[in-house]
Chain A
Amino acid sequence: MGEKVFMQGNAALAESAIRAGCRFFFGYPITPSSEVPEYYAMRAPEENLVFIQAETEVAAFNMLAGVAATGKRVMTATAGPGFSLGMEAVSYMAAAGLPAVIVNVMRPGPADGDILAAQGDYFQAVKGGGHGDYNTLVLAPYSVQEMADLTVEAFDLAFKYRNPVIILSDAMLAKMRESLELPERITPNEQYDWAITGPKGRAHNVITTCGDGPIQWENFNLALQKKFREIATNEQRWESYQVDDAEIIIVAFGSVARIALGTLKRARAEGMKVGMIRPITLWPFPVKAFEGLDRQEFFVTELNAGQMVEDVKLSVKDKERVRFYGRMGGMTPTPDELYEKLCEYYRK
Chain B
Amino acid sequence: MKVIYKRPQVLTDAYFKYCGGCGHGIVNKLIAEIIEEKNWLEKSIIIWPIGCSVYADQYFKTDSICALHGRAPAVGTGIKRSLPENLVIVYQGDGDLVSEGLSEIMHSAIRGEKFSVVFINNAIYGMTGGQMAPTTLLGQKTTTSPYGRSEEFSGTPVNMAELIANVPGCYYSERVAVNTPQNILATKRAIKKAFEYQMEGQGLTFVEVLSPCPTGWKLKPTKAQEFLTEEMLKIYPLGVFKSPEVAK
A–B touch (CB < 8 A): the answer is yes
B130 → A minimal CB distance (Å): 20
Q: A55-B107, A66-B77, A198-B43 are in contact. Are A208 and B82 (CB under 8 A)?
A: no
Asked if B66 is an interface residue, CB under 8 A from chain A, the answer is yes
Q: Flag if B63 contacts A204 (CB, 8 Å).
A: yes
Q: Mark B47-75, 1 if CB is under 8 A from A, else 0.
A: 11010001101101111111110010011
Interface locus among A29-37, A67-75, A322-330: A67-75
Q: Does B44 contact A (CB under 8 A)?
A: yes
Residues of A within 8 A of B64 (CB): 196, 204-208
A246 at the B interface (CB under 8 A): no
B42 within 8 A of A: yes
Please determine whether B57 and A63 come into contact, CB atoms closer than 8 angstroms: no
A88 in contact with B68 given A62-B74, A204-B61 (CB within 8 Å): yes
Most B CB within 10 A of own CB, among A65, A74, A96: A65
A204–B62 touching, CB < 8 Å: yes
Q: A206-B64, A207-B65 are in contact. Are A63 and B75 (CB under 8 A)?
A: yes
A59 touches B104 (CB 8 A): yes
Residues of B within 8 Å of A201, CB to CB, are: 42
Q: Is the CB of B103 within 8 A of A56?
A: yes
Chain A CB within 8 A of B76 CB: yes
Does A155 make an interface contact (CB < 8 A)? no
Known interface pairs A59-B103, A198-B42, A200-B42; A207-B66 also in contact (CB < 8 Å): yes
Which residues of chain A in 188-228 are interfacial with respect to chain B, using CB atoms and an 8 Å cutoff? Answer: 196-201, 204-210, 212
| Residue B131 interfacial (CB < 8 Å) | no
Q: Which residue of A lies closest to B42 (CB)?
A: A200
**B107 and A59 form a contact (CB under 8 A):** yes
Are B78 and A24 neighbours in the complex by a CB distance under 8 Å? yes
Q: Which residue of A lies closest to B110 (CB)?
A: A55
In the bound complex, CA of A59 to CA of B74 (Å): 6
Interface flags for B107-130 (1: CB within 8 Å of A; 0: not) read 100110000000000000000000
B26 within 8 A of A: no
Inter-chain contacts of A208 with B (CB < 8 A): 48, 57, 64-66
> Across the interface, which residues of A come within 8 angstroms of B83, CB to CB?
70, 197-198
Q: Assuming the A-B contacts A62-B74, A89-B71, are A50 and B65 also in contact, with contact meaning beta carbons closer than 8 angstroms in the complex?
A: no
Q: Give the A-binding residues of B (Cβ under 8 A).
A: 41-45, 47-48, 50, 54-55, 57-58, 60-68, 71, 74-83, 86-87, 103-104, 107, 110-111
Q: Is A65 a contact of B55 with CB atoms below 8 Å?
A: no
Contact (A65, B78) CB under 8 Å given A56-B103, A92-B68, A198-B43: yes
Selected contact of A210 from candidates B45, B55, B60, B111, CB within 8 Å: B55
When distances are taken between beta carbons in the complex, the residues of chain B under 8 Å from A64 are 78
Contact of A67 among B62, B81, B103, B104 (CB under 8 A): B81
CB pair B78–A62 under 8 Å, yes or no, is yes
In the assembled complex, the Cα of A23 lies from the Cα of B82 at a distance in Å of 10
Question: Once the chains bind, are B71 and A58 in contact (CB under 8 Å)?
Answer: yes
User: Which residues of chain A have a CB within 8 Å of any CB of chain B?
Assistant: 24, 26, 50, 52, 54-56, 58-60, 62-70, 72, 74, 88-89, 92, 96, 196-201, 204-210, 212
Residue of B nearest to A66 (CB): B78
Contact indicator B62/A199 (Cβ below 8 Å): yes
How far does the alpha carbon of A273 sit from the alpha carbon of B37 in the complex, in Å? Answer: 77
B contact residues around A89 at 8 Å (CB):
68, 71
CA distance A65 to B68 in the complex (A): 10
Top 5 closest A-B pairs, CB basis? A66-B78, A62-B74, A208-B66, A62-B71, A66-B75
A-B contact sample (5 more), CB < 8 A, given A67-B78, A70-B78: A24-B78, A52-B77, A52-B81, A59-B107, A204-B63
- The distance from the CB of B96 to the nearest CB of chain A, in whole angstroms, is 12
Q: List 23 A-B contacts (CB under 8 A).
A: A54-B74, A56-B103, A60-B74, A63-B77, A64-B78, A65-B71, A66-B47, A66-B80, A66-B82, A67-B78, A67-B79, A70-B82, A196-B79, A197-B45, A198-B42, A198-B44, A198-B86, A199-B41, A199-B61, A206-B65, A207-B64, A208-B65, A210-B55
- Picked from B62, B79, B111, the residue with its CB within 8 Å of the CB of A66 is B79
Contact B75 A69 (CB under 8 A): yes
- With beta carbons under 8 angstroms apart, the residue of A63, A92, A198 that contacts B45 is A198
How far, in whole Å, are A207 and B57 apart by their CA atoms in the complex?
9
Of the residues A52, A70, A206, contact of B79 by C-beta under 8 Å: A70
Report yes or no: B68 in contact with A62, Cβ–Cβ below 8 A: yes
CA distance A124 to B120 in the complex (A): 36
CB-contact partner of A63 in B41, B48, B74, under 8 A? B74
Chain B nearest Cβ from A135, distance in angstroms = 19
Contacting pair A62 B104 (CB below 8 A): yes
A52 lies within 8 A of B111 (CB) = yes
Distance from A88 Cβ to chain B, minimum over Cβ atoms (Å): 6
Q: List, in ascending order, chain B residues with CB within 8 A of A209's CB.
A: 66
The distance in angstroms between the C-alpha atoms of A60 and B71, with both chains bound, is 10
User: Chain B residues with Cβ under 8 A from A88's Cβ?
Assistant: 68
What is the minimal beta-carbon distance from A322 to any residue of chain B, in angstroms? 39
Select which of A50, A69, A207 is within 8 A of B81 by beta carbon.
A50
Q: B63 and A66: CB pair below 8 A?
A: no
Chain B residues, CB < 8 A from A50: 81-82
| Residues of the A chain whose Cβ atoms lie less than 8 Å from the Cβ of B107 | 54-55, 59
Q: Chain B contacts of A72 at CB under 8 A?
A: 82
A216 to nearest B CB, angstroms? 12
Are the CB atoms of A74 and B63 closer together than 8 Å?
no
| Contact B81 A204, beta carbon cutoff 8 Å | no
- Residues of A within 8 Å of B79, CB to CB, are 66-67, 69-70, 196
